[in-house]
Amino acid sequence: MEFNNILVSIEDDLAIVTINRPKKLNALNTATIKELHLAFKALQKDNKVRVIILTGSGEKAFVAGADISEFAHFDTKQGGQLAAQGQELLFDFVENLQKPIIAAINGFALGGGLELAMSCHFRIASHNARMGLPEVSLGVIPGYGGTQRLPQLIGKGRAMEMIMTGGMIDVERAIEYGLVNHITSSEELLDFCKNIAKKIAKNSPMAISQAIKAINAGFKNDVDGFEIEINAFGQCFGTDDFKEGTTAFLEKRKASFQGS
């Protein structure tokens, strides 16, 4: 599958998806959102791929925001459709993907870029990363889930301040807030992410997908997360991964999971 705005590479059981619009600081336009959707959908079906790393090309930006030139002339109906389609195609899709996606934030993650990073299952940032939701300075609010995911990750008060000021925070503040899990140098960022990905890939892909489902359920108002966990836990018992994992434990050897 060939793309114009992103790059996809696969190394053993790891996929690296790179947003490749360096002249635009990897800004998200509708074409890039569609390409990312298609790439993640294909990787979801690839049983060899266990973990996905998402990053931006160049050294300046993960994603510096949405491509404002695309929607500056939109009316209210078109604006609502833009948010709804983007959330369905990419941001909600990423959050609920059955395979873990690690955001490797290699510079600016602003507006839609931070919203995309927050959709990923967790985030690792380089020292030069800067994060923020500056939409109110343009007379609009975050529309790709930012008003929902940011409070979930860092708390209501901090999210209110970040969104209402439209300002950026550095990585030290981001890790203090719990917005990112780790900080590393720009040169070591991808290798750092790969090392964590390798640890994840050793575990049961079926169990990881059920864990993602159960954890996400706890942040939805109309869903009983405990009930989802109970059901997901029970489902694990009927799988080859469970048989292999428990047998390996009893036989005092490392489990070898074959994939989902």
Domain that holds residue 242: 205-250
CA 56 from chain centre, in angstroms, equals: 13
Measured torsion, CA atoms of residues 254, 9, 70, 79, in degrees rounded to the nearest 10: -20
- Residue 91 inside a domain? The answer is yes
pLDDT score recorded for residue 259 = 62
Based on the fold, state whether residues 173 and 191 are members of the same structural domain: yes
Q: Which residue has the tokens 């991964």?
A: 241
Q: Is the dihedral of CA 77, 80, 84, 90 positive or negative?
A: positive
Count of domains observed in the chain? 2
pLDDT score recorded for residue 67 = 87
- Residue 245 inside a domain? The answer is yes
CB 94 within 8 A of CB 44: no
Based on the fold, state whether residues 166 and 213 are members of the same structural domain: no
pLDDT score recorded for residue 1 = 73
Here the CATH number for the domain that contains residue 43 is 3.90.226.10
Q: Which phi and psi (to 5°) does residue 22 adopt?
A: -60, -35
Based on the fold, state whether residues 222 and 110 are members of the same structural domain: no
Q: Which residue has the tokens 């790439």?
A: 39
Average pLDDT by stretches of 10, the chain with 260 residues = 93 97 95 98 96 96 92 94 96 98 98 98 98 97 97 98 98 98 98 98 96 95 93 96 96 85
66 secondary structure, DSSP code: B
CB 99 within 8 A of CB 209: yes
pLDDT score recorded for residue 258 = 81
- Residue 149 inside a domain? The answer is yes
* Closest listed residue to residue 229, CA positions, set 215, 250, 249: 215
Tell me the C-alpha distance between 254 and 124, whole Å.
28
Give the catalytic positions in this structure.
115, 135
Tokens of residue 103, six digits: 């955001």
- Residue 220 inside a domain? The answer is yes
Q: Would the pTM of this model clear 0.75, i.e. be above it?
A: yes
